[in-house]
Amino acid sequence: MYQKMRHILKCKACNAYTMKEACPKCAEKTSTAAPPKYSPDDKYAKYRRIAKEGERKKESIL
């Protein structure tokens, strides 16, 4: 009867946007393109920033 609401997804491997669970270009799994909602009492923000910093150092962005 009702269709499931679909969201735009992003492939982290090739940076393509799609509405499918797997990327049509490279067949990698896609994830949501929207950032998480902001909350002033976010208990895990510190850990998320530490993880992102590690990823950026690994990719030589920092």
pLDDT value at residue 50? 94
Domain 9-58: which CATH class?
A: mainly beta
pLDDT tier for residue 1 given thresholds of 50, 70 and 90? low
- pTM for the structure as a whole: 0.54
Of residues 27, 26, 9, the one with CA closest to residue 18: 9
Per-residue pLDDT tens over the stretch 6-39: 789 999 999 999 999 999 999 999 999 888 788 8
Q: In the chain, what are the domain boundaries? A: 9-58
Per-residue pLDDT tens over the stretch 38-54: 888 888 889 989 999 99
Of residues 1, 29, 2, 3, the one with CA closest to residue 16: 29
pLDDT value at residue 58? 86
Please tell me the distance from the alpha carbon of residue 62 to that of residue 52, in angstroms, as a whole number. Answer: 11
